[in-house]
Chain A
């Protein structure tokens, strides 16, 4: 079923006889159960005020269309949403609704925040077919509960987004990357911590153990970027690595590869995503039983590739963080659960919230479900 208006969405929800699967561009690899309801046709930028740093769009609006509109005003989506197509082998057009429903962010998450931090307001249709609005289109808003954050990352389990309003940011004049060569995992994570614990505003920190390259990104005005690069370089001189600088063009390529996890685009094995304390990362990766991994978010995000069917969570054991199974066959996903098990109290609240917003249990059944 293809939806092109909020009214039609309300009808679709009210008329639903059983489970419905809400889809935007269908690029994020979420399993469809029941009737597929596509909101890809519910699209268009409804308001864009560059001077107020705000943009409002319908959920089916392609991310590319939004990025193009922003680029024309020298602005951008600062949270740098990842494109999952290469990693998951999906086709289709990523939409802004999908980005927000999945709280999809990229390398810049460590300095500016996640998708959820840039979502200012939502309209959504809940499981009863009621249209609910929350938040707005202003940057500071504490009027009532923050259902905006609750909707971000809820994977359509509470309601279907019908409009999103976002904060956007200026595109910096230029960017550059500092690359450190030859560091082992622990030394790389320590160097990244050093860089992020400096006043030089690093906007990306990633390490690839396969090439032993540690990348640190700086963005801003030309003079500022070259100053900060040289300061960082002296700060990290003691790390024992050979250091080189990469220009704006190279930086673009390096970070889009990191953002989209290009290392695992060959389709081999299962792919896991672990969010943890950066300093815990090397230990977690080492005991995970994975074949290969890369670090983003200064170590706070590990992408790991394991043999198909490997239970990475069991291998890691207890940790301060969570592991998501991003790429695997349906059977493995069903057996291991896509999302990390939650403590009992949190799981109970989550289930109760879902029952409140979706009393008939029609939305994206199976999403957010965890292994027993």
Chain B
């Protein structure tokens, strides 16, 4: 993955930039020593590393504004960072950048049960938002797998999803307002405790813009009362295609589960060896969870089981207790770890129309043979968000490149069948150069025109999302301005 050549002019100004940053930030908030900036050299896409020129960890929106204003005046690129859990390289630094981490901004500003909202600083972790309201029976719905560590700032930047978004939606559907600092230091408020601000939907535009339009420092989030209960059913099939049909039939029957998870044989085998959840050895496994009172859950699981029975499952296990539920989820939740035990892996997240599931799985298998790299599939089947895990050996020369090539082919296939490159992880640098596959020239121009409005100098996270050749002219203007 290519990154732009760092600006020597900016690097030459490091001392001055650091001095100016120290004037507006407390001592412990500016990290400029090369041994310490290394801590920010990568996010969860660890194949790519580059230490930033400086890292700052402000405590307030005003400090964020000061940092951005200084960087704007000095022409220094800024890479915003939440908890650094991006799988797409969204927080990957360049050698001439300031990393702006919001990790120290993690307060709950306001909890309002009457209006079902919580306002937080965006460095707060996803799970601790729920943590702040769960004693009173509430929760924050979007639940990315990294929720223990990932920050709301990153969730907003990537419009993160999770296993339960089939029912509750992704971040953008649960975000009501933001305080955002623009690259020139201006602080704006969009939305708040009310729904659907009139005028252009800047809130929807900001969510998923990968930290390229502004730095979101505070967010108003929708919270919901927890359901009375939730229980899954586990269903095993001898055929991927039949499992796909079963998913489609359940949806058509009017049952709307909170989650429908799918695992294929390589993944089942890996998780069984690792977590021993007692999964049946078969081609495809569905875990379907529904919510409600005990009687309501029984009713819905009954309907689902009835539909599944028509497709001759090899196994059908309805959870009757919290213990059985935990056991059913155990394998799914350890799937990534299990695959990681076997080898290094690359996790993709292309989305496809649910109807194309069997075809796409068949093609992935064929390509796996062709590339000589194993793939396990574990994904959110209800919404077609796939997670192929390609196994490779990072120590074997050429293996990473081969894996990336294979991954690109899978993503192209997703687009070909009517889907997209990324369902919930974001583009970052990982899918940046594939954007041409999904979008034509005018489509990308329209998106870049939005960045021109928010960040005319292209200083915020500039080398992400858009193919470097597509954004080259715009980024060059920023450099020429030096």
6 more CB-based (< 8 A) A-B contacts, given A275-B195, A339-B199, A349-B188: A51-B252, A105-B196, A130-B445, A136-B419, A137-B418, A276-B193
Is A253 interfacial (CB 8 A cutoff)?
no
Q: Name the segment of A84-92, A220-228, A241-249, A328-336 touching the other chain.
A: A220-228
Among A52, A140, A301, point to the contact of B195 (Cβ < 8 A): A301
A278–B446 touching, CB < 8 Å: no
B385–A140 touching, CB < 8 Å: yes
Among A130, A139, A173, A346, point to the contact of B383 (Cβ < 8 A): A139
Residue among A227, A275, A277 having the largest count of chain B Cβ atoms under 10 Å: A277
Q: In residues 272-308 of chain B, which contact A (Cβ within 8 Å)?
A: 292-293, 295-296, 299-300
Beta-carbon nearest neighbor of B293 in chain A: A227
A353–B439 touching, CB < 8 Å: no
Per the bound structure, the CA–CA distance linking A324 and B5 in Å amounts to 49
B254–A74 touching, CB < 8 Å: yes
Q: Name the segment of A38-46, A148-156, A256-264 touching the other chain.
A: A148-156
A368–B199 touching, CB < 8 Å: yes
Residues from chain A with a CB closer than 8 A to the CB of B116 are: 193, 196-197
Is B80 interfacial (CB 8 A cutoff)?
no
Residues from chain A with a CB closer than 8 A to the CB of B227 are: 199
Residues from chain A with a CB closer than 8 A to the CB of B195 are: 109-110, 114, 275, 297, 300-301
Is B322 interfacial (CB 8 A cutoff)?
no
A143–B427 touching, CB < 8 Å: yes
- Given contact pairs A145-B209, A349-B453, A133 touches B440 in the complex (Cβ within 8 A): yes
- Given contact pairs A172-B254, A353-B453, A144 touches B439 in the complex (Cβ within 8 A): yes
A224–B299 touching, CB < 8 Å: yes
B196–A140 touching, CB < 8 Å: no
Is B170 interfacial (CB 8 A cutoff)?
yes
Q: In residues 134-176 of chain B, which contact A (Cβ within 8 Å)?
A: 137-138, 158-159, 161, 165-166, 169-170, 172-173
Q: Name the segment of B46-54, B200-208, B234-242, B323-331 touching the other chain.
A: B200-208
Residues from chain A with a CB closer than 8 A to the CB of B452 are: 356
Is B450 interfacial (CB 8 A cutoff)?
yes
A144–B447 touching, CB < 8 Å: yes
Beta-carbon nearest neighbor of B213 in chain A: A145
A117–B173 touching, CB < 8 Å: yes
- Given contact pairs A150-B205, A172-B254, A357-B449, A368 touches B443 in the complex (Cβ within 8 A): no
1/0 contact string of A178-221 vs chain B (CB within 8 Å): 00000000000010010011110000000000000000000001
A340–B198 touching, CB < 8 Å: yes
Among A53, A113, A277, A350, point to the contact of B193 (Cβ < 8 A): A277
Q: In residues 110-129 of chain A, which contact B (Cβ within 8 Å)?
A: 110, 113-114, 116-117, 126
Residues from chain B with a CB closer than 8 A to the CB of A116 are: 196, 201, 204
Residues from chain B with a CB closer than 8 A to the CB of A53 are: 251
Is A269 interfacial (CB 8 A cutoff)?
no
A170–B202 touching, CB < 8 Å: no
Is B424 interfacial (CB 8 A cutoff)?
yes
Residues from chain A with a CB closer than 8 A to the CB of B186 are: 345
Residues from chain A with a CB closer than 8 A to the CB of B14 are: none
Beta-carbon nearest neighbor of B435 in chain A: A144
Is A292 interfacial (CB 8 A cutoff)?
no
B424–A278 touching, CB < 8 Å: no
Per the bound structure, the CA–CA distance linking A119 and B355 in Å amounts to 19
A146–B208 touching, CB < 8 Å: yes
A54–B353 touching, CB < 8 Å: yes
Query: 20 interchain pairs (CB within 8 A)?
Result: A113-B173, A116-B201, A126-B446, A138-B352, A140-B165, A140-B170, A140-B424, A142-B158, A143-B431, A144-B439, A145-B205, A153-B196, A158-B200, A171-B254, A190-B114, A199-B226, A277-B193, A339-B199, A346-B190, A349-B454
Q: Which residues of A contact B (CB under 8 A)?
A: 49-54, 73-74, 103, 105, 109-110, 113-114, 116-117, 126, 130-134, 136-150, 152-154, 157-158, 169-173, 190, 193, 196-199, 221, 223-224, 227, 275-279, 297, 300-301, 320-322, 324, 339-340, 342-343, 345-346, 349-350, 352-354, 356-357, 368
Per the bound structure, the CA–CA distance linking A53 and B256 in Å amounts to 11
A352–B453 touching, CB < 8 Å: yes
- Given contact pairs A51-B252, A199-B228, A321-B194, A154 touches B423 in the complex (Cβ within 8 A): no
Is B438 interfacial (CB 8 A cutoff)?
yes
Residues from chain A with a CB closer than 8 A to the CB of B188 are: 343, 345-346, 349
Distance of A160 from chain B, by nearest CB (Å): 14
Distance of A38 from chain B, by nearest CB (Å): 24
Residues from chain B with a CB closer than 8 A to the CB of A105 are: 196
Beta-carbon nearest neighbor of A111 in chain B: B224
Q: In residues 383-429 of chain B, which contact A (Cβ within 8 Å)?
A: 383-385, 418-427
A49–B384 touching, CB < 8 Å: no
B248–A51 touching, CB < 8 Å: yes
Top 8 nearest A-B pairs by Cβ distance?
A149-B204, A51-B248, A140-B423, A170-B254, A345-B188, A139-B383, A277-B193, A321-B194
Beta-carbon nearest neighbor of A115 in chain B: B196
- Given contact pairs A146-B159, A150-B201, A322-B197, A139 touches B384 in the complex (Cβ within 8 A): yes
Residues from chain B with a CB closer than 8 A to the CB of A154 are: 200-201
Per the bound structure, the CA–CA distance linking A317 and B119 in Å amounts to 24
- Given contact pairs A227-B293, A353-B450, A197 touches B225 in the complex (Cβ within 8 A): yes
Residues from chain B with a CB closer than 8 A to the CB of A356 are: 449-450, 452-453
A143–B438 touching, CB < 8 Å: yes
Per the bound structure, the CA–CA distance linking A221 and B256 in Å amounts to 11
Per the bound structure, the CA–CA distance linking A321 and B199 in Å amounts to 12
- Given contact pairs A144-B435, A145-B209, A173 touches B198 in the complex (Cβ within 8 A): no
Per the bound structure, the CA–CA distance linking A131 and B445 in Å amounts to 11
Residues from chain B with a CB closer than 8 A to the CB of A153 are: 196, 198-201
Among B137, B190, B196, B383, point to the contact of A275 (Cβ < 8 A): B196
Residues from chain A with a CB closer than 8 A to the CB of B265 are: none
Residues from chain B with a CB closer than 8 A to the CB of A150 are: 200-201, 204-205, 450
Residues from chain A with a CB closer than 8 A to the CB of B194 are: 275-277, 300, 320-322
Is B113 interfacial (CB 8 A cutoff)?
yes
Per the bound structure, the CA–CA distance linking A84 and B163 in Å amounts to 37
- Given contact pairs A52-B353, A131-B442, A147 touches B447 in the complex (Cβ within 8 A): yes
Residue among A54, A148, A149, A353 having the largest count of chain B Cβ atoms under 10 Å: A149
B202–A146 touching, CB < 8 Å: no
Is B358 interfacial (CB 8 A cutoff)?
no
Per the bound structure, the CA–CA distance linking A340 and B192 in Å amounts to 15
A142–B424 touching, CB < 8 Å: yes
B422–A170 touching, CB < 8 Å: no
Residues from chain A with a CB closer than 8 A to the CB of B451 are: 145
- Given contact pairs A170-B256, A275-B194, A133 touches B439 in the complex (Cβ within 8 A): yes
Per the bound structure, the CA–CA distance linking A138 and B225 in Å amounts to 28
Distance of B249 from chain A, by nearest CB (Å): 7
- Given contact pairs A137-B353, A145-B209, A321-B194, A349 touches B189 in the complex (Cβ within 8 A): no
Per the bound structure, the CA–CA distance linking A73 and B249 in Å amounts to 12
Residues from chain B with a CB closer than 8 A to the CB of A346 are: 188-190, 199, 202
Distance of B293 from chain A, by nearest CB (Å): 6
Distance of B456 from chain A, by nearest CB (Å): 9
Among B172, B193, B255, point to the contact of A170 (Cβ < 8 A): B255
B114–A49 touching, CB < 8 Å: no
